Structure 1
Amino acid sequence: MIRPLVRGVPDAIVHVTRPVLFSFATPIEVQVRGYELDELREATDAVRDELAGIADLRDVKTSILPGSPEVQIVYNRDALARLNLDIRSVAELVRNKVQGFEATKYNRKDRKIPVRVRLKDIDTATVRELEDLVVNPGQARPVPLSAVAEITLGRGPNEIRRIGQQRVGLVTANLAGSGLGSAAREIDERLAKLNLPAGVTTAVTGQSEEWETSSRSLYLALGLSIFLVYVIMASQFESLMYPMIILITIPLALVGVVWTLLLLNVPVSVLVILGLILLAGIVVNNAIVLVDYAGQLKERGHSTDDALALAGQVRLRPILMTTLTTVLGLVPMALGLGDGAELRTPMAITVIAGLSFSTLLTLVVIPTIYAGVDRIFGGGVPESREVKLLREVRAVTPEQLAPEVEVPK
């Protein structure tokens, strides 16, 4: 929307960027690495032309631009040797005459002003006048600069950028209408088919590289959080099976998150994964309440089906209350009101969607799986001392309870 509005502004150079959290790089950056500047310039232009053909990329630019005009002096070492001249002394002499050198400093109170000495009107001299510069002053036979060097007009590099002690040309672009991952994959496919000079390599960096690095760390954090939740529940329940049943609420929450993100067109980002890490510790609470109370009812002598039915009735209200308080507390954050809303909204939407969906399925799926596991493993939860004692008492007959009395004859 912005580009058509500013396209007709005369003499205006417009750069369109999009705000991105936790990043100072453009969405797409391709590093073209090489050693020779000419080959690096050609390869960078080829990569830029290739990226310009991708429909979802905008503002494709390269960091290697034509430099300012300059006078280039290439010395002839053989000619200098025949005239018994040193290339270093000749180059310093030409530099001092053209650019000047600091001869002294003028002291003015507490300031020292450098005094630079150079040839008069050298800043407006032509190439012909530079060729007539004498490179051996004080000698019997003056030698002009044109006799020992070739002077030409050319353009120097605009900048020489190095990354990892290697010359690099950057090709940057913005995204429009596609995801970062799909655009990076298409760029990799196109770069693989591009014929570049020998010794020139490419690498897709920018926000795509940052996303890959951060996503690996976040996936590790997500797996570690699930493992710690399982360890804590296993130690409390003194069972390895029933904590696994409770952990099923995590994929149930993930289903709700995926559908909600697709419905609201929210891209997967670092904040979404942070919301998933929070869900790993939140969604298990409802299942813990349900499974724990069902286990208590079984210890009191109830069957598995009766314990699950009674636990669902008794624990329904606490489960709904805890879910609603969390969801309603995150609603203002999910609405995206105020500055910095893009930082809060994806994480809040993730937690709300996952917690709401998992709560609805927890009341149906968890009791079903619990009953199935009980039937397969024969009750699963070990009987407590009270249940064993109650069963032993019920098994005792009245004759066994009555004391033996000797009747006198």
Structure 2
Amino acid sequence: MALPVLAATLSTSIVFFPVTLLFGVSRFLFSALGLAVVISLFASYFVAMTVVPLFCARFLKGSHGAPAHGEAPGAEPVLRQSFGARFNAWFNDRFQAMLGRYQQVLDRLLIRPKATLAGIVAFFLATLALAPLLGVSFFPRTDPGQFTIMVKAPAGMRLERTEDQIRQVEELVRRVVDKEDLQLIVSNIGSVADLPAIYTTNSSENTAFVQVSLTEDHKTGSYPYMERIGQALKAEMPQLSTYLVANGLVDAVMNQGMPAPIDVQVSSNDLPTADRVTKELAAKIRAMPGVRGVFTPQDIDLPALSVNVDRMRAAQVGLTQKDVVDTLISALTSDVMIAPSYWIDPKSGNNYFLTVQYPLNQIKSLTDLKNLVLRGPEVTRPTTLDSVATVTQTFSPNEVDHYQIRRIMDIYVSPLGEDLGRLSKAIEEAVGKMKLPESVVVSLRGSVQSMRASFQSFAVGLVLAVALVYLILVAQFRSFVDPFIILLAIPTGIAGVILMLLVSGTTINVMSLMGVVMLSGIVVSNSILIVEFANHLRSEGMPVQQAVSLACRVRLRPVLMTSLATIIGMVPMAMKLGTGSEAYAPLAQAIIGGLTVSVVLTVFVVPAAYLLIYRRRDSGPYNTAGTQPGHDAQGATA
């Protein structure tokens, strides 16, 4: 068993080498996992080759229900057998019966190895045809226990009216969320032209966000509550534009800091044109199936006042444009943004802002603003604003965002479930059908951008992992054919992964892809046991069909034992037990599904392929060493 155990250990360990080629979030997620698995595998190999044989020599009395050494077969036991002995006898009887049925099926399939391989290949291709039915996401969705409601009231709404609207939103949340699940509601309303503005996503008096926190032991998850609240807001408060987003740290990292997994950015320095394209595209996205929410934070119709300073008249009274603007800012807010000054308390050392501000509510109308007295270092007599500037009513953007120098307008899109692939593809198709102006560029950011980059690196990693496993097996078996037979277990494993993800309703994500990478190293262990023992039997002079049939029969027990041990160990993770377990459940589900189907098909596809390849080479006479010409004692091709 030394060769198959070493080959299985190396093939399972080498698949983690491509993890070093990953970048971004995926690399940080799986580097520690890969290192832990590789270290534990080699520790297990050391124990299996040293400690386990000692324990077997000391404690093993019989094998598979056979009588112990020195005990006559069929001898009546002196003492009544224990429950464990009776259970072992019962299990061995059932296993031998199952083994006999397996042998009958295998012998029938080996009569037509080509038909057997064709049937399994057809099954694999059929499962590949089902792959498009799977959803695609970057990372499994987890329940963070808190979410945010972004609210945008009609443009120009005063702060007091916005506060009334948010009060109604809070009442709606308390009505929808169970009292036992609701822990805290915090609302942030409006924005000020001051330093605190950098700590809020609000851009004007008609914008706000409401943060909802659930209790630690909440019975209903965040996403069901978000769905209920979103539907209630559309039905009861249609005048508000709302967008619900989960507040989990994982979501923030995966979205690259964006508030949405799909951020459609419309880039153009011509804001009116960008606004027109944004509204048209947002309407199309809302009509798409699978969309939970669409939100555009930017508006260009916010009521504003345009102050046009006549520089010639201002200069005649000793004012500059900066003097006029500084006086306006100090009168409407404070001078902390234009003339920041600090005072340090000599006793405590604390820093304090020193600000200047006009008395509250001194300017209540447009007439008061026009009669504002301007001050400056060169002003010798009182001068009002309307004497040096014209003030007109206009519209302006509530915020102006930039990405890579160009101005952008965002469309935040959240899907109903985890599937980002279909929705992002539908958005790109809708953009492709639009006739965009030459100055407008539309791109997708957020999780979609990271997802596609990670999937490309995983594809390269999977191909490299299979290639490395093949090279390791070539070195171990000293044959280019045997590793190919062994690797036939990988397609059957991939078929099992697809079926398992479909049954469990899980998407293809970085976790399930990592499960596929790990599976490619695990499933070959079963093939190694069969191929290695068949080579050994052939080296002793046994015909190829008899050798591969006996190898499958003898190795079926260790194949089932190792596979069941892995599957049972993955069951708690696949069942999503514990907080945050949703993140790693797809990895376990992929391994369980792939390994289950692979075990069932490997014990048929490997012997069929082995017989098909080696029965023509088995016609020559065996040499005196018990091997065919061109083969060594292990049955490997020279």
- The TM-score normalised by the length of structure 2 is 0.54
| 1:290 aligned onto 2:526 | no
1:374–1:380 contact (8 Å) kept in structure 2: no
Q: Distance in 1 between matches of 2:284 and 2:451?
A: 23
1:7 equivalent in structure 2: 232
Q: Distance in 1 between matches of 2:480 and 2:467?
A: 12
1:34 is aligned, of 263, 268, 283, to 268
| 1:192 aligned onto 2:432 | yes
Matches within 5 A, 1:17-166: 17=245, 22-24=250-252, 25=255, 26-65=260-299, 69-76=303-310, 86-92=320-326, 95=329, 101=335, 116-117=355-356, 123-124=362-363, 126-133=365-372, 145-166=385-406
What code does the residue aligned with 1:36 have? Answer: D
SS at match of 1:60: strand
The CA deviation string for residues 127-157 of structure 1, in whole angstroms up to 9 with x for no partner, is: 3343345669767897654354321234543
Q: Distance in 1 between matches of 2:535 and 2:243?
A: 64
SS at match of 1:386: coil
| Change over 3 Å in CA distance of 1:122–1:196 after alignment to 2 | farther
Q: Distance in 2 between matches of 1:287 and 1:139?
A: 93
What code does the residue aligned with 1:280 have? Answer: S
What code does the residue aligned with 2:522 have? Answer: I
| 1:169 aligned onto 2:409 | yes
Q: Distance in 2 between matches of 1:79 and 1:260?
A: 78
The CA deviation string for residues 339-398 of structure 1, in whole angstroms up to 9 with x for no partner, is: 22312321111111111111111111111111111145x35999888236999xxxxxxx
SS at match of 2:428: helix
SS at match of 1:204: strand
| Change over 3 Å in CA distance of 1:289–1:389 after alignment to 2 | closer
1:221 equivalent in structure 2: 461
| Change over 3 Å in CA distance of 1:84–1:189 after alignment to 2 | same
The CA deviation string for residues 144-179 of structure 1, in whole angstroms up to 9 with x for no partner, is: 543543212345433222222332221112212683
2:189 equivalent in structure 1: none
Number of aligned residue pairs: 390
| Change over 3 Å in CA distance of 1:126–1:388 after alignment to 2 | closer
2:478 is aligned, of 229, 233, 238, to 238
1:295–1:381 contact (8 Å) kept in structure 2: no
What code does the residue aligned with 1:242 have? Answer: D
2:489 equivalent in structure 1: 249
2:8 equivalent in structure 1: none
Q: Distance in 1 between matches of 2:620 and 2:309?
A: 91
SS at match of 2:409: strand
| 1:353 aligned onto 2:581 | no
1:396 equivalent in structure 2: none
Q: Distance in 2 between matches of 1:384 and 1:282?
A: 36
1:161–1:167 contact (8 Å) kept in structure 2: yes
Task: Report the more deviating stretch, 4-13 or 188-197.
Answer: 4-13
1:260 is aligned, of 472, 482, 500, to 500
Cα displacement (A) at 1:203: 1.1
Structure 2 unmatched runs, 5+: 1-223, 631-638
| 1:180 aligned onto 2:420 | yes
Cα displacement (A) at 1:42: 2.9
SS at match of 1:202: strand
What code does the residue aligned with 1:124 have? Answer: I
Q: Distance in 2 between matches of 1:43 and 1:123?
A: 41
2:539 equivalent in structure 1: 299
Q: Distance in 2 between matches of 1:362 and 1:44?
A: 54
CA RMSD of aligned residues (A): 3.8
What code does the residue aligned with 1:182 have? Answer: R
What code does the residue aligned with 2:261 have? Answer: P
Task: Report the more deviating stretch, 312-321 or 96-105.
Answer: 96-105
The CA deviation string for residues 240-261 of structure 1, in whole angstroms up to 9 with x for no partner, is: 1110111110001111221222
| Change over 3 Å in CA distance of 1:382–1:233 after alignment to 2 | farther
Q: Distance in 2 between matches of 1:88 and 1:312?
A: 89
1:406 equivalent in structure 2: none
| 1:203 aligned onto 2:443 | yes
| Change over 3 Å in CA distance of 1:379–1:89 after alignment to 2 | farther
Q: Distance in 1 between matches of 2:276 and 2:599?
A: 59
1:401 equivalent in structure 2: none
Q: Distance in 1 between matches of 2:538 and 2:462?
A: 33
Q: Distance in 2 between matches of 1:332 and 1:140?
A: 82
What code does the residue aligned with 1:46 have? Answer: E
Cα displacement (A) at 1:69: 4.9
| Change over 3 Å in CA distance of 1:121–1:300 after alignment to 2 | closer
Cα displacement (A) at 1:119: 5.9
The CA deviation string for residues 76-99 of structure 1, in whole angstroms up to 9 with x for no partner, is: 457668989754455446556666
Calculate percent identity across the aligned residue pairs.
28
| Change over 3 Å in CA distance of 1:116–1:17 after alignment to 2 | closer
2:308–2:389 contact (8 Å) kept in structure 1: yes
Cα displacement (A) at 1:291: 0.4
- The TM-score normalised by the length of structure 1 is 0.81
Q: Distance in 1 between matches of 2:625 and 2:282?
A: 77
2:243–2:294 contact (8 Å) kept in structure 1: no
2:80 equivalent in structure 1: none
Task: Report the more deviating stretch, 26-35 or 147-156.
Answer: 147-156
1:402 equivalent in structure 2: none
Matches within 5 A, 1:315-354: 315-354=555-594
The CA deviation string for residues 170-210 of structure 1, in whole angstroms up to 9 with x for no partner, is: 11122126832111111111122234444121112222222
The CA deviation string for residues 40-78 of structure 1, in whole angstroms up to 9 with x for no partner, is: 333322222221121321221112146865433123457
1:275–1:347 contact (8 Å) kept in structure 2: yes
Q: Distance in 2 between matches of 1:180 and 1:308?
A: 46
Q: Distance in 1 between matches of 2:246 and 2:442?
A: 25
Q: Distance in 2 between matches of 1:386 and 1:219?
A: 45
Q: Distance in 2 between matches of 1:146 and 1:381?
A: 110
SS at match of 2:455: helix
